[in-house]
C-alpha cells in the first residue's frame, strides 16, 4: 500500500452537444458500437459468451452490497483483468464485480474507446456536482432496458488502484455517469431504482419482451416473474 500519493485524473471536457438530453447513451455499451444484429459473427459470439457470465435481474447477488477489498494480491489482479476482458467482449463501458457474482468493491470502466481501462477498488463518492443531467442508460444485467436516469453531471471519487495505491478521479458527463452506475451496483442499486414507478413498469415490460424475443442466444435472462416487477419491493426485501 503506497500511502497517500494522490493521482488526480483530470478528464478532458466533452463538448456539450455530447450530453444533450436525447443523447443515445447506453451506459454499459460503447457509444457508437454497432447494434448486435450488425456485429460480425465472431464479435457477436464473443459478446454472447461474455453476457452469459453477467448476472441478470432476479439474481439476488445484484441486490447485495459488496465488501471492501483488503488484499491487493494476484487474485485481485486476475479478477480485475477478467472484468476488463468481459466488459470489452460484452461491448460494455463499465462493469461492477457484483455483476459477475463477486462481492468485492471493484469496478472497471472505459467510457470512450480511446480511454484507458480504469479499475477502481474500494471507490467512494467524495463529491458530486449540484448540476444534474438526464441521459439514457442501459445495463448488461437488464437486457432490453433503456431508461432516462438523472444523475450529477460531475463527480469526484476516491479509490485505490489494483495495487492498493490511493487514487482520486474527477469525471464528468458519460465518464461520471458510468462511474455512478457501477458504484450503484456495488451497493445493490440498479437503474430501475432511479426512475419513476411508471418508467419502471415500462422497463420491466421491455425486459420481458427482450427475454421472449431472445434474438441472440445467451444474451437474455429468463423472463422475470411479473410479481418481481416492483424494483422497490425487491430492494426493500434485499
Q: How far apart are CA 192 and CA 185, in angstroms?
A: 11
Least Å distance, CB 83 to Zn ion, is 13
Q: Please, what is the minimum distance in Å from the beta carbon of residue 10 to Zn ion?
A: 26
176 touches Zn ion (CB under 5 A): no
DSSP secondary structure letter of residue 96: E
Examine the residue annotation and report whether 182 is marked as an active-site residue of this protein: yes
Question: How many whole angstroms separate alpha carbon 111 and alpha carbon 94?
Answer: 7
If we measure between CA atoms, which residue out of 234, 167, 153 comes closest to residue 197?
234
Task: List the interface residues with Zn ion, window 24-63 (CB under 5 A).
Answer: none
Task: Report how far apart, in Å, the C-alpha atoms of 152 and of each of 31, 86, 118, 125, 179 are.
Answer: 20, 27, 20, 11, 11
Query: Does residue 221 touch Zn ion according to CB under 5 A?
Result: no
Angstrom CA distances, 50 to 43, 85, 113, 127, 192, stand at 11, 9, 18, 33, 23
Nearer to Zn ion, 30 or 168 (CB): 30
Q: Determine the Cα–Cα distance for residues 154 and 78; give it in Å rounded to an integer.
A: 30
62 or 167, CB closer to Zn ion? 62
Measured from the CB of residue 5, what is the shortest distance to Zn ion in angstroms? 31
Closer of 101 and 163 to Zn ion (Cβ): 101
* Residue 139 within binding range of Zn ion, rule CB under 5 A: yes
Structure-block grid coordinates of residue 24: 443515445
Q: Of these residues, 166, 182, 209, 219, which one is catalytic?
A: 182
Q: Which residue lies nearer to Zn ion by CB, 70 or 181?
A: 181
**Rule CB under 5 A: is residue 83 a binding residue for Zn ion?**
no
Please answer whether residues 125 and 183 qualify as being in contact, where contact means their C-beta atoms are separated by less than 8 angstroms: yes
Binding to Zn ion by residue 183, rule CB under 5 A?
no
Q: Which sequence positions are flagged as catalytic? A: 182
User: Which residues lie near Zn ion (CB under 5 A)?
Assistant: 139
Amino acid at each position: 500500500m503506497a500511502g497517500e500519493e494522490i493521482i488526480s485524473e483530470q478528464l478532458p471536457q466533452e463538448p456539450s452537444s455530447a450530453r444533450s438530453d436525447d443523447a443515445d447513451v447506453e451506459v454499459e455499451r460503447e457509444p457508437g458500437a454497432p447494434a448486435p444484429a450488425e456485429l460480425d459473427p465472431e464479435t457477436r459470439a464473443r459478446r454472447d459468451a461474455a453476457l452469459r457470465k453477467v448476472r441478470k435481474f432476479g439474481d439476488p447477488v445484484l441486490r447485495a452490497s459488496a465488501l471492501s477489498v483488503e488484499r491487493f494480491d494476484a487474485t485481485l489482479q486476475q479478477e480485475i483483468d477478467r472484468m476488463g476482458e468481459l466488459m470489452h467482449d460484452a461491448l460494455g463501458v463499465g462493469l461492477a464485480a457484483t455483476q459477475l457474482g463477486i462481492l468485492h468493491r471493484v469496478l472497471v470502466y472505459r467510457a470512450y474507446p480511446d480511454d484507458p481501462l480504469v479499475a477502481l477498488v474500494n471507490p467512494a463518492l467524495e463529491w458530486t456536482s449540484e448540476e444534474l443531467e438526464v441521459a439514457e442508460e442501459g445495463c448488461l444485467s437488464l437486457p432490453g432496458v433503456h431508461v432516462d436516469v438523472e444523475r450529477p453531471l460531475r463527480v469526484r471519487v476516491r479509490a485505490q488502484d489494483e495495487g492498493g495505491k490511493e487514487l482520486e478521479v474527477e469525471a464528468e458527463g458519460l465518464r461520471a455517469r458510468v462511474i455512478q452506475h457501477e458504484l450503484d451496483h456495488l451497493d445493490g442499486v440498479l437503474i430501475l431504482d432511479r426512475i419513476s414507478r411508471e418508467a419502471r413498469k415500462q422497463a420491466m415490460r421491455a425486459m420481458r419482451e427482450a427475454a421472449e424475443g431472445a434474438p441472440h442466444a445467451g444474451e437474455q435472462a429468463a423472463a422475470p416473474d411479473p410479481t418481481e416487477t416492483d424494483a422497490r419491493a425487491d430492494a426493500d426485501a434485499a
